[in-house]
Homo-oligomer: A and B are copies of this chain.
């Protein structure tokens, strides 16, 4: 396994630079140590960053990767005197895009304020909705939900709902399928009128067994046998109700959310 340190150096919050961290996932054989340096907006702070880069290079062998978003040209050029592999968001992306749009890019602190428009408020509203409708907490307000996730306990409904809300501003409720539903052989009655926005999650029994065992080791709830039965019954219920589902066993919340957005065709 290769080792590299990645620095995210920004004159603002470092959110844009941090987002580029996703690119590193294309290289799973390298072990990246990530160092965030937001608010690096003076020459003195740039010098400190340079010392850290030098230190990381000595420590890891390979030269560090620096993902940088610095509006000020002097800071930018000073930082680049370090020995590192630079991904300069301004040179590569922001400045050329500004030329295309015929518009001077906002930099540093200016940005944070600009993101707080209607879409931002929708996201915050969605997070509150999702937290108030986690785990079947309440039956009221489900009309407002844009997506309702269902599935057995601990199959990944909560983090997926939260991601949908945080990332896309989707009001995502989630509803567990529990032993009472399995005995009755039917989805919870409240869900019947919302079938068009329900999406199912399922999981492999072995994985569910492992996840539940972490919480309630040795319990009937966590036993492989019970996990198998719950999953089979839940899938049958979903199949009968014509509900689309996805398997969360080897999918990240990011991937599950992309699938849910695609299948339910919610506008972002």
A interface residues (Cβ-Cβ under 8 A, vs B): 2, 4, 12-16, 18-23, 25-30, 34, 36, 38-39, 62, 65, 85, 87, 89, 92-94, 97-98, 100-101, 103, 105-107, 111-116, 120, 123-124, 127-128, 131, 134, 156, 158-159, 162-163, 166-167, 250-255, 257-259, 261-262, 268
Whether the Cβ atoms of B65 and A13 lie closer than 8 Å is: no
A-B CB contact pairs (8 Å), 13 listed: A2-B101, A15-B22, A16-B23, A16-B26, A27-B101, A30-B103, A36-B258, A39-B262, A65-B100, A116-B252, A127-B158, A127-B162, A131-B131
Contact A262 B166, CB 8 Å, known A2-B101, A158-B131: no
Whether the Cβ atoms of B107 and A26 lie closer than 8 Å is: yes
Q: A34-B268, A85-B97, A112-B250 are in contact. List 8 more A-B contacts (CB 8 A).
A: A13-B254, A16-B22, A18-B167, A19-B21, A26-B107, A26-B111, A85-B100, A159-B166
What 6 A-B pairs are tightest by C-beta distance, nearest first? A13-B258, A28-B114, A19-B19, A26-B105, A112-B255, A19-B22
Shortest Cβ distance from A159 into chain B, in angstroms? 5
Whether the Cβ atoms of A254 and B112 lie closer than 8 Å is: yes
- Give the number of times this chain occurs in the complex, counting copies: 2
CB neighbours (8 Å) of A101 from chain B are 2, 4, 27, 30, 62
Shortest Cβ distance from A245 into chain B, in angstroms? 17
Whether the Cβ atoms of A258 and B134 lie closer than 8 Å is: no
The binding surface of chain A is classed by DSSP as helix
CA distance A251 to B124 in the complex (A): 12
Contact A159 B127, CB 8 Å, known A22-B15, A65-B97: yes
Contact A106 B26, CB 8 Å, known A158-B127, A158-B128, A162-B131: yes
